[in-house]
């Protein structure tokens, strides 16, 4: 398993939450079929309470695509807000 990403948030000098993504590669099973790889997405609070979800490569592809589209919408909205502010200042 390989660590892909980790995001740690702090509140009042203490860890308040941690998001960790670990990946595992596809592998060959005993019957010579390939088992799909995937990821473990883990969210924990500062006290160590955590939830983990296993996501396949296919599910991660969909998740990344959806997040990418949402991020593009956020970027567009931010640019529109800057444009509105600029127009009001003129």
**What is the pLDDT averaged over residues 21-41?**
93
User: Which pLDDT score is estimated for 46?
Assistant: 85
pLDDT of residue 42: 97
Sign, Cα dihedral of 45, 47, 49, 54 = positive
Task: Identify whether the C-beta of residue 41 lies closer than 8 Å to the C-beta of residue 21.
Answer: yes
Q: What is the DSSP string of 14-65?
A: EEEEEEEEEEE--EE-TTSPEEP-EEEEEEEETTS-EEEEEEEHHHHHHHHH
This prediction has a pTM of 0.78
For 36-58, what is each residue's pLDDT tens digit? 999 999 999 988 899 999 999 99
Domains in the chain: how many in total? 1
The residue behind tokens 């000098």 is 13
Instruction: Report the range out of 21-25, 44-48, 86-90 with the highest average pLDDT.
Output: 21-25
Range of the domain at 69: 2-89
């Amino acid at each position: 398993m390989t660590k892909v990403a980790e995001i740690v948030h702090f509140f009042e000098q203490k860890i308040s939450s941690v998001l960790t993504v670990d990946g595992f590669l596809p592998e060959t099973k005993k019957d010579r079929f390939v088992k799909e790889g995937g990821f473990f997405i883990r969210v924990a609070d500062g006290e160590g309470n955590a939830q983990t979800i296993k996501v396949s490569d296919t599910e991660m592809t969909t998740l990344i695509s959806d997040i990418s589209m949402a991020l593009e919408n956020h970027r567009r909205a931010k640019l529109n807000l800057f444009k509105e502010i600029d127009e009001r200042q003129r």
